[in-house]
Structure 1
């Protein structure tokens, strides 16, 4: 909910004005390619106080935390706009929190429960982030790469041409023309309804998982030089397919799959950290009815 409100602010909110009516001066913000990079730069001076609300500070580190909650596409906006909107969001949140305390909302039972849950959530996340660097090392990344990618060829790819028609009859007419010596590329430019018609129907080397099931099954069943014997129906059109080439891609370099590996290791490490933390505590499960109405919790299941 916080991110959605922030996005609306960034997309439609004008620069704030001073009492004189002039736009407020914006602090210099370094140019970066992503919100994460901007947040990382701010973290280098995380203790810097950039604003205060009723004497309570808002730091650059808090702005960095807010930036990491946002949709990455907002990085396309000017960094100064993103920074100012994040700061305004934090100021608004702080103002609401101050008012809530003035009204005694922080003493409400539901609010207390939410505060406790938010504290647990923040501490759990911080603990995991502290441990992750010990588990996701360069050695761990390299070992995972060697186990999954190194020395192993990538997926098969095929290069082929298509001619798409709106009816099966028209597709059969295309097949007849091809059998009589017509040029596939010219027919594709003249007859095909597929966007590839401008390139003579050519689809460059592609993996099967990037194709529709129907097209993929046929294209990967044919050998180079072969054409479908019958039209193939897919996405409401009838396709004539001619395979031109087949190749097996080499193993991807480590840098191209690093993010994928890190994400996998992170999920695995997160689960392992959670499992060990759970194993280190005693849990008594009193069931959905709790302990109310019972003489003793002795029958509770322990985990």
Structure 2
């Protein structure tokens, strides 16, 4: 089986590591030096902006599965426009997975939110994600190739977690009363994608999050306790030094329901809460290696 990936980044690489023994893995990256590094792992990577469209189209037409992990632009998903015909003409393509975000639900005032809730994206990036979701679902329906949407919560894992942030001195305990977020370990995302690949359902939309939406300051406090250090001081949200994008995350408050991946895909999360995830990362030396 052949896999093609738009966006050979953090999550896509976890999927590749845990997935089937592909006969060929190809995809796109942003920088040519990353393409060179991936070549040493047996992955054929093309710098997207410099790649020949015909060569990429041929790789797509020969694929059995397609994972879309690259974000759309504000004015639309350029991948849909550029490679629609190649995807439509891929004779063996039996699974398309599009990685989206739970941000498409907008603010729910802390309410529990499942896949039946209407999408009401607020930020420009979430609005673009929702438009891209609709585009990939429409393409799947038009071509008869099963398209699936995976709405991801906050991703963490090796190198991207509260422990490594503490070790680098970058962790903040920002407090906004009532604010909670779901998270999801990258390895659990990979397991969900693999399960979907084994039982495609055209038009499926899945929430991908853990079992316990929690205040962000609690996660940092727990990580500090694991590391045996004092947590950083609490910072009121109104006083926090945050980028516009980070601040926009706090404008939305919801609790994500993940029941569908459990019932339909028979998933048992390896890291059902941030505690199991951080404990495993600490045991793997995450804090010590980043310090």
- Scaled by the length of structure 1, what TM-score is found? 0.20
More helix by share: 1
**Structure with bigger RCO (C-alpha 8 Å, 6+ apart):** 2
